[in-house]
Structure 1
Amino acid sequence: MTRSRHVDNWECARREQHVDAINKIENVYGDSIRYYMNRMKKELIVHHEIEALVNININETLDEIQMWIEKYDKDTETIGLNIQTKRILYLDKLSRRMELEEMIKLHEKEVWDWTEFKRKRAEAQKYFSDMTRCAVMIQAWWRGLLVRKQLGPFKVDKKKKRKKK
């Protein structure tokens, strides 16, 4: 048994030597491996944080885009309603203007008819007054002629003269 204990202990010692030798060889790389593993873990953490920030930024941008889309829709609807209101007002004003233009045309026709009537009436009055004046002049001339020539009712009666004698 002693021998087996000795062999067992020797084997354990030898194993420990080999493990130490392997660990010494691998420890040189183990520090590098641990260093790069820590760096990789830190990079993964940073990567996840950056990804989370980018996702947050994307979500905020999408929310802002959605808000602007809703605002655009609301504003275009408001503008559309304003345009319809203005169009209705324009059409009302246009129809009112057309009515007023028709009224002005009728008024102009009435004014023209009235001035034409007054002009014709003035012409007729002038013609009548000229004819009356001419007739009076002709009648005066004729009466004067009858009186001077003693003709017509202004004729001297021969019978009346005889009575005087």
Structure 2
Amino acid sequence: MACIFGTDHSGVKTVFLKTSLRSIFNECLYQLYILRNINVENDITFPDEIVEYRSLKERYEDTEMHADYRINLKSSNYNKLATDINRLINIIREGNEEINFGGTCSGMVGSIAAINQMREDDMQLLRQKVEYEEEIEMLRCQCEEERLNNIQTIDDTNTKIQKLKFEVEDVRVYGRYEISFFKNWEAARREQNCMACDAKETLHSSTMATMTNKIELENRCHLELENFIEESRNDSLEGIQYWMKHYDEEIEKRDSDMMNLKIEIEKITEEYARMKDTYELRKAAISDYMEYKRIKKEKEDQEKMECQAATKIQAWWKGVMVRKKLGPYRKKKGKGKSKTKINKKKK
């Protein structure tokens, strides 16, 4: 557009370009009029409004399923095609008028930008439709699953209700039999209690008679026991008198025995002291004698040991002298004597 229009918005550079653009726009308008009227009803009135940007809410506020509506119009609705062609006609006609009077086409540029923006909004709406369809499908699956679960729950509940009905019927029948059994049991228990009370009354009567006899027996025993205790007390008093007298006699006898024992103990003590002194003297004498015998034995052992040692030393020394031929065992000079000694040794 910069090569056609001026950069300072002053208009078309030449009259030739202006005329050429108007011719091109008029030819486009002619062709678009023909396309708009093909397969379109004659009673449709096309507005001469200028294309302005409108949001999705303004365009589809009263329309449900906006994306489906937009797709259907794009693919099969010829009225929508005619409406779009009419918008294009309005844009070109507006641009033609601007070029004719002012030499600019800013309105056309703004309309094209608005159309592009609305198309971008429509594409965004279609993308959202795909995303929403996935979410709707997921929600539909969840709803179906919940529906099946609810159906299963209802079936289970009906089964439980039927089971509870049977249980209630069983409880009702059981209760009826239980009431009948309880009545019979109550009558039997009442009869058993009456029999038990009669037996207890009879037992108490017999117990009272037995206890009366025992009381009479106890009274007789009590009287006899009192008499026995009185006699025993008298016997005990007599025994006490006897033992008191015997105690005094025994005390006197024991005192005299104790005096005699003291005298004997003194004699024994004196004899013990005398014998102890004698024992000490004899013990000292025996100790001296034993010491004397020990010393004497040690001396004898010492002498015996010295004698044995001297004998061993003498024997050893004699053996040494014989082996070494010392002293009297030394060889003497002279042949005759030596031969005689040798012969004697051989013999």
Say which structure, 1 or 2, has more relative contact order (CA 8 Å, 6+ apart). 2
TM-score of the superposed pair, with normalisation by structure 2? 0.26
Structure with greater helix percent: 1
TM-score of the superposed pair, with normalisation by structure 1? 0.48
